[in-house]
Structure 1
Amino acid sequence: MNSEKENLQSQNIASKSLFYRFSQFVGFLLGARVFVAVLLTFALYVSTFFLFNQEESLRNFVFDFKVHGIIFCTVLCILAGGIINQFYDFEKDHIVKPFRTRIQSFIKQKYFLYAYLTLSITSLGVAWMISYRVFIFFLIYQFFMWYYSHKLSRILIVNNLTFVSLTLYPFFGMMVYYETFSMKVFLMAIFLFLMLLCIDIAKDTLTKSVDKAFGYTTIPNYFKGKTTKLILISLLMIAMAVSMKIIVRTNVWGFMSDYFAVGLFVFISCIYFLLNDSRRSKFITLNILRLWVFIGIIAMLLNGIESKL
């Protein structure tokens, strides 16, 4: 009997230990925002090969280790940025994201900081091996990612503009690397900037009370609801105008042409939901815009594959 009880206890301890380790692993993935990093990496590869680097063959692109090194450094910076951001937003996330915070609690905050330093140093080390210019590029990137989490995320309007700029920073680097300066790329960059800005402001509308309580001055908790709604609708209308400009004045075709054309109706539906001033409508608008950005990446991929065939 005693041996059976001991075996049962040892099995329970082993299962609890396994659950604890698994929870630590999931907590780290959520803290580092690995899933966001994976999506941005996919977007970087698609935009690099099919938008910025249309002249190079797939074989040359695959063996261009400098490009892979730059994207690798970008991924490490994004992971590090996610960790340092959750470190500064830990108290706010307790209320806004209770499930994620609960999972992250299985790991002590000091280990997140160790991971942040490891990822940052590794990224800069790889960047230095590529070139000193790449090193400076990522040094600036890492500084502003830290400074955004430390200070800029609490400043009105600056927080939104900085967040969107940091998201687009790696894409700007690739554009400079390949010297891809054209009206089409410029307009598409403006379009993506407007989309991400709308997403960030829409996200803030869902957490305005918590943001205000923890000292984050955002557009929704500084202005009245009508003003915030007007800002979002204005940005969506500008995005519609840019979409029409891309369709009419640039040589987009195939899936990308369809994407921008259908996007006009998507934005109209978002405006309709925003006019219905409810939390559910804001949540639906936010997720429609997020999904539309992802569909844009897929459209670029399919359009690029079609052009290469």
Structure 2
Amino acid sequence: MNSEKETFQSKNYISKSLFYRFSQFVGFMLGARFFVAALLTFALYVSTFFLFNQDETFRNFVFDFKVHGIIFCTVLTILAGGIINQFYDLEKDHIAKPFRTRIQSFIKQKYFLYAYLGLSAISLGVAWLISHNVFVFFLVYQFFMWFYSHKLSRILILNNLTFVSLTLYPFFGMMVYYETFSKKVFLMAVFLFLILLCIDIVKDTLTKSVDKAFGYTTIPNYFKTKSTRTILISLLIITMAVSMKIITRTGITSFMAYYFVGGLFVMILCIYLLLKSTRKNNFLTINILRLWVFVGIIAMLLNGIESKL
């Protein structure tokens, strides 16, 4: 009887231990924004090969270890940025993101800081091995990642502009690396910047009261609801104008042309939802825009594959 009891207790202890380890793993993935980093990595590879580096063959691209090294450094920097951001936003996230915070609580904050320092050091080390210019590029990137989390995320307008700029910073680096300067690339960058800016502002409307309580001065908690809605609708109308410019003036074809034409209808739908100005509609708007960004990556991939065949 005692033997059976001990066996049961042993199995119970093992299952609890496995659950704890799994929770730690999930907590770290959420804290480091692993899934966001994975999406950005995919977007970087697609845009690098099919937009910035259209002349190189796939074989040469696969064996271009310098490019893979830069993307590897980017991924580590994004993971490190996610960790330091959740460290500074911990109190706010307890209210705004209770489930994520609960999962992350399985890991002590000091281990997150160790991971941040480790990821940053490895990223800079690899960047140094690639070239001194790449090292400086990532040193600047990591500094502004930290400075955004520490200070800029609480400052009106600067918080949104800095967040979106940091998201696009690696793509700008690839554009400079391949010296791909064209009207099409510029307009596509503006289009993406505006969509990401809208996403970030709409996200702030969902955490308006929490942000205000913890000293984050955002557009929704500084301006009235009507003014915030006007800003968002204006940005979406400008995005539509940029889409029209891309369609009519850059000679874009195939899947990407369909994407930007479809984007006009998506923007109209988002404007309609924002005019209602309810929490449910704002939540729906942010997810539609996020999905449309992902659709854009797939459209670029399909467009690139078609052009390479």
TM-score (structure 2 length as normaliser): 1.00
Trace 1:1-309 onto structure 2 (pairs within 5 A).
1-309=1-309
Paired with 2:18 and 2:239, the residues of 1 have a C-alpha distance of 49
Question: Once the two structures are superposed, what CA deviation does each residue of 1:54-99 show, in whole Å capped at 9, x if it has no partner?
Answer: 0000000000000000000000000000000000001111111111
What letter corresponds to residue 141 of structure 2 in structure 1? Y
Paired with 1:42 and 1:2, the residues of 2 have a C-alpha distance of 55
Write out the 4+ residue segments of structure 1 that deviate beyond 2 Å after TM superposition: none
Paired with 1:180 and 1:14, the residues of 2 have a C-alpha distance of 55
Paired with 2:217 and 2:190, the residues of 1 have a C-alpha distance of 25
Paired with 1:35 and 1:273, the residues of 2 have a C-alpha distance of 27
What letter corresponds to residue 198 of structure 1 in structure 2? C
Paired with 1:112 and 1:142, the residues of 2 have a C-alpha distance of 16
Paired with 1:264 and 1:182, the residues of 2 have a C-alpha distance of 23
Paired with 2:33 and 2:255, the residues of 1 have a C-alpha distance of 30
SS of 1:55's partner is coil
Paired with 2:277 and 2:137, the residues of 1 have a C-alpha distance of 42
Paired with 1:251 and 1:181, the residues of 2 have a C-alpha distance of 16
SS of 1:59's partner is helix
- Identical-residue share of aligned pairs (%): 82
SS of 2:21's partner is helix
Q: CA deviation at 1:240?
A: 0.2
Q: CA deviation at 1:251?
A: 1.8
Paired with 1:285 and 1:233, the residues of 2 have a C-alpha distance of 12
SS of 2:126's partner is helix
What letter corresponds to residue 128 of structure 1 in structure 2? W
Q: CA deviation at 1:165?
A: 0.2
Q: CA deviation at 1:129?
A: 0.1
Question: Once the two structures are superposed, what CA deviation does each residue of 1:108-131 show, in whole Å capped at 9, x if it has no partner?
Answer: 000000000000000000000000
SS of 2:39's partner is helix
Paired with 2:160 and 2:272, the residues of 1 have a C-alpha distance of 23
What letter corresponds to residue 59 of structure 1 in structure 2? R
Paired with 1:100 and 1:307, the residues of 2 have a C-alpha distance of 42
Paired with 1:159 and 1:54, the residues of 2 have a C-alpha distance of 34
**What stretches of structure 2 of length at least 5 have no aligned partner?**
none
Q: CA deviation at 1:284?
A: 0.7
TM-score (structure 1 length as normaliser): 1.00
Paired with 1:44 and 1:6, the residues of 2 have a C-alpha distance of 53
SS of 1:215's partner is coil
SS of 1:217's partner is coil
Paired with 1:13 and 1:206, the residues of 2 have a C-alpha distance of 40
Question: Once the two structures are superposed, what CA deviation does each residue of 1:282-302 show, in whole Å capped at 9, x if it has no partner?
Answer: 111111100000000000000
Paired with 2:242 and 2:145, the residues of 1 have a C-alpha distance of 28
**What stretches of structure 1 of length at least 5 have no aligned partner?**
none
Question: Once the two structures are superposed, what CA deviation does each residue of 1:163-207 show, in whole Å capped at 9, x if it has no partner?
Answer: 000000000000000000000000000000000000000000000
Paired with 2:65 and 2:50, the residues of 1 have a C-alpha distance of 17
